[in-house]
Amino acid sequence: MIVRDRPNLLQLFFIVRGSIIRRILPQIIVIFLMSALIVWGHEESPNLVVSFNGSSLSLLGIALSIFLGFRNNAAYDRWWEGRRDWGQLVYVARGFARQTLVLEAEGEAGADMRKNLLRLTMAFAQALVCQLRPGSDESKVLRLLTAGEADLYRTARNRADLILRLMSADLARSKAAGAISDIQYQMLDISIGQMGAVQAACERIRNTPLPFGYTLLLHRTAYLFCFLLPFGYVDTLGWGSPFVTALIAYTFFGLDALGDELEDPFGQRPNALAIGALADTIEINLREALGETDLPPLPQPKDFVLM
């Protein structure tokens, strides 16, 4: 996630970090050069390099804007839903720390149990990051697990879910032993269930991109449109055509590329969500709730980017 103040007018045009421009620059340059070539060709031999009435392209451009607008909206909704899911996790984890206070109040065995549950909650948050961002540093999870748990973790198909099952097994044992009541069990189970809901929602967003046919159709139309544009503008804009064409291409390709970034909110690009930082924040919150005082600093953005 890009964290920076609103740029002023001058900065506005020189920021590249977080801008989509680096990814689409080659295409824009191609469009610009092509457009310039067409203007030159049209001036040299108007019969060879034809032009046509640009206004007939307006319809296509407007249609494309509407469809791109809807697609970007859908992509943004996924991004924001992903953020909401992680906000939910923050809240459930903190709530879990509060709900387990009642265990602590009931004696030392309860305090140990609480410590255990919160430790596994931290591990769950870190494991979820690893699952959503393949290639992440698994040691952040492993340092929170016991040797036995770590072995299970390594062999599990769904690692984050395993950790939830470890928590539930713990609760089930306490329940069978009569250490916690039916209602307490129910309360804690609901919280663990909510963590599972967050996981399932994140997996859903990660594993189900926007329908491929939709993406493909819009990409193709956007490219064909931008390649046709210079022919339509050569007569009315002349040498202004490459500039206007490049600006339109910047807007359309830019939105298209941004849609791609937002579609996968757990990725590693600058505009993706800072789930790593959120998992660290959850860990710090829980450590504080456990009474630890030697807390690591809150995660800070590096070079305006928080991951």
CB closer to a copy of itself out of 130 and 258: 258
CB of 84: closest distance to a copy of itself in angstroms? 7
CB of 52: closest distance to a copy of itself in angstroms? 5
CB of 116: closest distance to a copy of itself in angstroms? 15
Query: What amino acid is encoded at 304 in this protein?
Result: F
Rounded to a whole number of angstroms, the distance between the first and last alpha carbons of the chain is: 6
CB closer to a copy of itself out of 40 and 209: 209
CB closer to a copy of itself out of 25 and 63: 63
CB closer to a copy of itself out of 150 and 197: 197
Residue 104 CB coordination number (10 Å):
16
CB closer to a copy of itself out of 1 and 144: 1
C-alpha torsion sign, points 157, 159, 160, 165: positive
CB of 140: closest distance to a copy of itself in angstroms? 19
Q: Are 72 and 65 in contact, with CB atoms under 8 Å apart?
A: no
CB of 46: closest distance to a copy of itself in angstroms? 13
